[in-house]
Structure 1
C-alpha cells in the first residue's frame, strides 16, 4: 500500500482503481518549524486568513512551510523577504485547488466510489496518488445508464471454420478468442438474473470498468453555485488541480499469465509480423476504439499485399522490356541522339547540349512510363474501391462481434467540452430536454490566411530553388557529367541533380511546416469552440488533413501538372510571375514522369522512415529519462502506479495522429501511383513495421488509454472515399499529361508509316533558329560546351509541337499538337468514366453487411425479444425449467462463463 518511494520531485495527484484496494497521498505534512516572515507576507496572510477557512490555511502551511524552512539558512535577509512574498502570492491559487480536490473527492464518494488516502508521512513535494474502487452497485447502476451490452446466452450459431492454409498465420485460440462468443443485451439492473453472471467481481471486463469510472469522473461536480455546476476531471486537469488521469496496466509487460503479457508476447514482437492480430484481446484490454484502429490498419496492410504484387509486376515489365524501347534507343544513339542539339534550358548560364546526354534518364523513365502504367492506374482505381467496400464488410462484422450494432456515440463523447462551457455567456432553452443550457455567442471561424500564405510561399520558394540551382548544375556539368562528379559518373544529369536536391529540401520543409500546421489546425479548431468532444475531433480531422494534404502533396502536384506545361518556346519564354528572371522549368525530353517519381520516392520514403524512428525512439528515450532515478531503487519501492506514471501519456488525440499518418500514406499510393508502381510495396513494408511498432508502444511505452467505444473509423472513412475519387482523376491526368504514353500512341497510329515508334524522337522535337535568341536568352560566353560551333550549328531543338522558323505559322502549334491534346482529353474522359462505372458497380455488387452477420443480428434480436417476454411473464427459474423441457433453448446461466483472472482498473490524476 505504501510502496510509493519518496523519489519524485514534482507535485501532482493520481487516480486509479485496483480491485478492492485504494490509496490517496496528499502533499505535505506538519510544519517543520517556525519561519521568520516579512511584514508584507504577514499582511498578505492576515488578509487571506479573513477570507479562507482555518483548515485550508493550515493545509497551505503544511505544503509551504517545509520549503521555506529549508531555504531560510541559504538566503540572505535581503533575498528571503521578496522570495517569501513571491511564494505566498500563490496562496489563493493553491488553496482553491485544494478546495476543489476536497469537494471533488467528496462528491466521488457520494456517487458510490470508494477512495482511500495513503499515509501522509512522506517526503515533501512528491507525487500523491488516489485509488478509486467502483463496487458492484456502482458498476451495475452505470452499466444500466450507459446501456452496456452484456451476455445472456452463449452463441449457438457455428463459426465458419478457418481454411487450413491460414493455420500458420493464426495465433493460439486462447489469444485470439479470450472469451466465448455470446448473445448480448443491454444491461438492466432490475433483471440481473436474466444475464450470465457467475462472479460479480469479474462480470464486467476491464475496458468496461474503465469506461464507467471515467464516465463518473467526467460528470462529477467539484464546485456548485446558484448559476452553474463546475464538473469533470477534464477541467480539473486543465486548471492544474490534478496532474493526470489514466487507467493503469494490469501488470508489468514481462509478467506472465496476464493480458498485457499476452499482447506483448504475441502482438508487439516484430517476428510475429506474419501472424494475425489478436483483435478480441486488444478490444478487451484497450477498448473498441483502439481495437477498430488496429483492425483497420491490419486490413489495410493485407490489401496492400495485392496492390504491391501487381505494382511489382508492372515495374518488372518495364525493367525487362528495355530492348523494345525504341525511343530510348534513338535518344542514346550517336547517330540520332548524338546529332540532335538541344536548346538551353535556362537563360545565360545554360549552354547547348546533346540529346544523348539524357540517355540514362530515358532508360530510367521507361521503367515507370510504359503500357503497364496505364494498366496499373486502372487497377488501382478498382483496388481502392475493393479496399473500401471490403473494409465496410469487415467493419460490420466487428460491429456485431463487439456489440456495436445499435451503438450511438457515448454520452462522455457528447458531453460539453470544458473550453466550451467557459466561453458560454448566455443560455437558451433546449427544445428536447426543456432545460436551459449554455451557448457561445456566434462568431465566424478565423480564416487561416497566414498559414495558407506560408504554404504558397514555401512552394514558390522551392520552385525558385529548382530554377536557380538548375542553372548552377548545368554550368558545372556543361562538358560532361563526369568532369566534376566522379562518384556516380554519367548517372547524374543537371535535371536529376536538381530534382533530387529539390525533393530533399522540400522534404525538410514539409517536416518543419508539419509541426506548425498541427498547431495552426488546433488553434483554428479551438477558436471555433466546438461544443462536444466528438465535434471537436471531427473538425480537427478535416482541418488537419487539408493542411497536410497541401503540405505533402503540393510539390507532387507541381511536378505532375505544372512543370513543363507553361514554358513558352525559344525566343518567347514564360517567366515566373511574368516579371522575374526565373524562367519556368522544362521537362526532360523523356518526360516529367521520372521527376515525379523521384519526388514521390523521397517524400514518401523519408516520411515513413522518419515517422517510424520518431515513434519508436522518442517515447523510449523519454521513458528512460523519466524513470532514471527509479531504476536505482529496488522493485519493491518502485510501485506499479509510479511505473505507469513514468510512461508517456497517449493523449486524447493520440489515435488521431496514427490515423493521419496512414491516411497521408494512402494518398501517396493512390493519388500518384501511376508514376511509381512500387509505392504500394514501400507502404506494405512500412506498415508491417508500423503495426508492431504501434503495438510495442501501446504495451510498453504508453500509459493505458481510457477505454472508449467506436463503431467505425469516423470522419476518416469519408476522407478515404474522397481521396479514392480524386485518385481516379489525378492518375488519369498523370497518364495523359505527365507521361508520354498518349503522344507515343498518337504518333504510332496516326503519323508512323509502319505503325512503329521509329522516328518518334525526331517527330516530337521542334526546330528553332539560334539567331532568334535575344541577349537575355543567349548563353554567355564560355557556358556552351567545347564541341559547340555557332558557325556550323544554326538550329537547336526543343520539346514541343510547333512550326519551324520561316513557316507562315512560325512557332505556332502544329495540327499534331491538337490531335494529341484531343487524344489526352478523350483518354481522361474514357478512363474516368470506366473507372467510376467499375467503382460504383463493384460498390453496388458488394453488400456492406455480410449475409451471415445479418442472420446473427436477426437471431440475437429475436432471442432478446423472446427471452425478455418469457422473463416478464414467468419467473426466471420457471422460464429456465420450461426451456430445458422444451429442448434446452436457454443455456445454463452458470456454465462456461467467466475467465479465471481478476481484472483491475487504475486511474491517475
Structure 2
C-alpha cells in the first residue's frame, strides 16, 4: 500500500520460485533466472525483498505510489476527479463523502471519471484511507508490471536454472516464460500485517457489535466483492430480527382457534419483509458504490461488456468518425449475431442441466425421501442419511464439472458473467438436494412432525457442522503443508533437527495457507460461492417452510450473528489474502434469493392447504379459496413492492447522470478541438 513520503510501501505481492542450486553448465554461460527476475523487477521500480524458505525462495514485492501511478497511466485506469459542482449548502447525502475546499465553506460534489495521468495526480480523489489507489487498482497495476516485463532486445537471452538452460525470446513475457518452465511456482497477494491486525481487532474479535462491521476498511483491504458480501450479510442479519421475534411469539403464545388465522397473517408479513429487504438492499448497494467511487452500474449488461472501453479507443479524428459511420451497420449485425448466439447457447445449457436434474437426480431424491419416511428404525435412518450425504457430494461434483464444460461454449462477456452462469447451474443441483425431500414430506405425506424434525436438523446440526468444517479444514490444510515442507527438508538434509527457529518466514506461512476458493472448483472465482450458498440455502429453508416452523427465523438470526465473526476470522487468519474481484454486487445470488421468495409463496400456501384440509380430500372450501386468493395477493405484493421502492436513491442517480453528462461534454469538446485543429492545419498547408 502506498504510504506517506519518506516511508516505505508495504509488501503486497509474493512470488514463489524454486531454490537455485549450483549450475553444472558453467558460470559464464547464460544468466541466472532468479537474478534476472530480481533485476527486471527493480528496473520497473518495484521494491524487492528476497526471503529463503525451507525448500523455496520468496520474492516480496512493493511499489511506491509513483510507480503505481505510472502503471495506472499505462493501463488507462479511470478514476474519480475533482471536476464537479460547488455549492454553498452542502446538499450531499450523509453516505456520500464530500470534499471541502481549503479556507472555504463550500462543499464539493465529485462526479467525473477520467483516465488517470500521474502528472495530474492531484486532480484525482483519494480513497477513504488516504491512499490514491484502491486495492483492486493496485493489484491490476502489480499484474501489469509483473507480467509486462518483456525482452525488448533483438536477440534471445539465454537463461539458466538448476542445470537447465532456455531462451528468453524477443517480445516474450519473462514471468510467463518462467511459469511455463516451472521455475516460478506462484504469484499471490500478501497480507499487510498492520492492517490485518487492525481488522482482526475491530472486526473479527469485536463480539459486542453484533451486526455492525467496518465495511469501508474491509473494502480498502479486500476489495469490492468481499466487502459487498459482508455488507449484505450484516444487513440480512439485522433485518432477520423482526421475523425472529415474530416467529418466537407464534411458538410461545397459544392462540387456540385463531392459530389458523395467525399463520396466514404471519406469512403475509414475512413475504412483505423479504421483498422490502431486497429492495432496500439494492438501494444500499448503489449507495456503497457511490461511496466507494465506483461509477458503473453492475446490474447492466452493457456496463460489463463495455466497462473496460476507454475514451482513447475512439480516435479523435474526422476520418475515424467517418469510418465508424460506414461500418456501423456491419457492427450492429455482428453484435446482434453474437447476442442471439450467446442466448441460444445459454438456453441450451440450462435445458441440459434442468433435464438432467429431472431425469437423474429427482428420482434419487424422491427414493431417499420415501425410504426415510417408511423406515422405522432411527439407526437405519441415520445410516441412510449418511449414505445419502456422501452420494449427493459425488453427484454435485459431477454436475459442477458438466456445468464448467457447458459454460465454455457460452461466450460470456466477462469472468463474472461466466461465474454467474455457473452459479445458476450448480445452485439448481443444491436446490434439489436441499428441498425436494422436505417438499415430499410436506405435500405428499403431510407429516408435519417429520417436516419440523428435518428443518431443525438442517438449521442446527447441518449449520453447526458446516461452520466447524469451514473453519477447521483450512487449519488442517495449513498444518499438513507445513509438515510436508519440514519433512522434505529433513530428507534432503540429513541430520536436520527441525524446529520453530527455521520456520519463521511470514511470507512462507502465508504461502502454506489455503487459497480462498470455492469447494466445488476454482471456476467459481473465489470462496464467496460457499458463503453465499450457505445463506441462500438457509433463506430458502426458513422462507419455504415458514408456516410449518416459524421459530426457524430465530435460529437463522442467531447463526448469522455467529457467521459474521466466523467468516471474518476465517478470511483474516486462516486463508491467504484473496485476489480482489471487480464485481460490485452479489450478482446471480440476488436473482436466486428473489426466485426463492416466489417459490416460498407457493410452498407455504400448499402448507396452509394441508393444515386447513384435515380430511385430506383437497376440497376447495371457502377457507381453501381464501388461501388461493392470498397466493395471488402475495405475488402481487412481490412484484408491486419491487416497483414502489426504487432500487437506486435519487441522489445517487443524479450524481451518476451528472458524471456521464460531464464526461460526454468534455470528450465532445476535445473531439471538436481536435477536428478543428486538424482542419486548421490542412488550410494552412494548402495556403503555403
Q: After TM superposition, is the score higher than 0.5?
A: yes
| 1:632 and 2:499 are equivalent in the alignment | yes
Say which of 139, 144, 157 aligns to 1:210: 139
| 1:508 and 2:414 are equivalent in the alignment | no
Q: Distance in 2 between matches of 1:181 and 1:551?
A: 53
Q: Distance in 2 between matches of 1:239 and 1:525?
A: 31
**Aligned with 1:129: secondary structure?**
strand
Say which of 435, 452, 461 aligns to 1:553: 435
Q: Distance in 2 between matches of 1:613 and 1:455?
A: 28
Say which of 515, 540, 548 aligns to 2:422: 540
Show the counterpart of 2:640: 841
Q: Is the 8 A contact 1:211 1:707 kept in 2?
A: no
Shift of 1:684: 0.6
| 1:648 and 2:514 are equivalent in the alignment | yes
Shift of 1:302: 1.1
| 1:602 and 2:457 are equivalent in the alignment | yes
**Residue deviations 1:795-835 (CA, integer Å, cap 9, x gap):** xxxxx5xxxxxxxxxxxxxxxx57x3354762343012111
- Change over 3 Å in CA distance of 1:457–1:406 after alignment to 2: closer
Show the counterpart of 1:690: 563
Q: Is the 8 A contact 1:23 1:118 kept in 2?
A: no
Q: Distance in 1 between matches of 2:177 and 2:384?
A: 41
Say which of 42, 48, 57 aligns to 1:128: 57
Q: Distance in 2 between matches of 1:453 and 1:236?
A: 48
Shift of 1:602: 1.4
Show the counterpart of 1:149: 79
**Residue deviations 1:746-791 (CA, integer Å, cap 9, x gap):** xxxxxxxxxxxxxxxxxx5xxxxxxxxxxxxxxxxxxxxxxxxxxx
**Residue deviations 1:401-440 (CA, integer Å, cap 9, x gap):** 11223254499999xxxxxxxxxxxxxxx96999xx9x99
| 1:244 and 2:211 are equivalent in the alignment | no
- Change over 3 Å in CA distance of 1:723–1:598 after alignment to 2: same
| 1:313 and 2:249 are equivalent in the alignment | yes
- Change over 3 Å in CA distance of 1:728–1:452 after alignment to 2: closer
Q: Distance in 2 between matches of 1:730 and 1:56?
A: 75
Show the counterpart of 2:114: 186
Q: Distance in 2 between matches of 1:640 and 1:510?
A: 42
Q: Distance in 1 between matches of 2:532 and 2:671?
A: 46
Shift of 1:151: 5.2
| 1:623 and 2:513 are equivalent in the alignment | no
Q: Distance in 2 between matches of 1:851 and 1:207?
A: 28
| 1:30 and 2:41 are equivalent in the alignment | no
Show the counterpart of 2:325: none
Q: Is the 8 A contact 1:104 1:222 kept in 2?
A: no
| 1:522 and 2:450 are equivalent in the alignment | no
- Give the TM-score normalised by structure 1: 0.54
Shift of 1:129: 1.9
Say which of 264, 288, 291 aligns to 2:227: 291
- Change over 3 Å in CA distance of 1:855–1:376 after alignment to 2: same
- Change over 3 Å in CA distance of 1:720–1:21 after alignment to 2: closer
Shift of 1:658: 1.2
Q: Is the 8 A contact 2:79 2:124 kept in 1?
A: no
**Aligned ranges for residues 162-177 of structure 1 at < 5 Å?**
none
| 1:402 and 2:292 are equivalent in the alignment | yes
**Aligned with 2:59: secondary structure?**
strand
Higher share of residues assigned helix: 2
Shift of 1:507: 5.1
- Change over 3 Å in CA distance of 1:612–1:862 after alignment to 2: same
Say which of 231, 238, 257 aligns to 1:302: 238
| 1:673 and 2:549 are equivalent in the alignment | no
Shift of 1:186: 3.3
Query: Which deviates more, 261-270 or 863-872?
Result: 863-872
**Aligned ranges for residues 253-332 of structure 1 at < 5 Å?**
258-269=194-205, 271-274=207-210, 276-317=212-253, 320-321=254-255
Q: Distance in 1 between matches of 2:308 and 2:179?
A: 17
**Aligned ranges for residues 107-118 of structure 1 at < 5 Å?**
112=44, 114=46, 116=48, 118=50
**Aligned with 1:243: secondary structure?**
strand
Shift of 1:290: 0.7
Show the counterpart of 1:577: none
Show the counterpart of 1:781: none
**Aligned with 1:267: secondary structure?**
helix
Structure 2 gap segments, 5+ residues each: 1-8, 96-106, 157-166, 298-302, 310-329, 487-497, 518-524, 673-688
**Residue deviations 1:506-554 (CA, integer Å, cap 9, x gap):** 6535542443244223311332225542233122101110000001111
Q: Distance in 1 between matches of 2:261 and 2:179?
A: 59
Q: Distance in 1 between matches of 2:12 and 2:281?
A: 42
Structure 1 gap segments, 5+ residues each: 1-16, 33-53, 63-97, 163-179, 252-257, 326-368, 415-429, 474-496, 564-586, 744-763, 765-799, 801-816, 874-909
Q: Distance in 1 between matches of 2:148 and 2:418?
A: 19
Considering only CA atoms, is the larger Rg found in Structure 1 or Structure 2?
1
Q: Distance in 2 between matches of 1:313 and 1:276?
A: 26
Q: Is the 8 A contact 1:27 1:126 kept in 2?
A: yes
Q: Distance in 2 between matches of 1:547 and 1:405?
A: 35
Show the counterpart of 1:489: none
- Change over 3 Å in CA distance of 1:510–1:295 after alignment to 2: farther
Q: Distance in 2 between matches of 1:838 and 1:23?
A: 54
Q: Is the 8 A contact 2:135 2:220 kept in 1?
A: yes
Q: Is the 8 A contact 1:377 1:732 kept in 2?
A: no
Q: Distance in 1 between matches of 2:251 and 2:175?
A: 55
- Change over 3 Å in CA distance of 1:622–1:20 after alignment to 2: closer
Shift of 1:846: 1.1
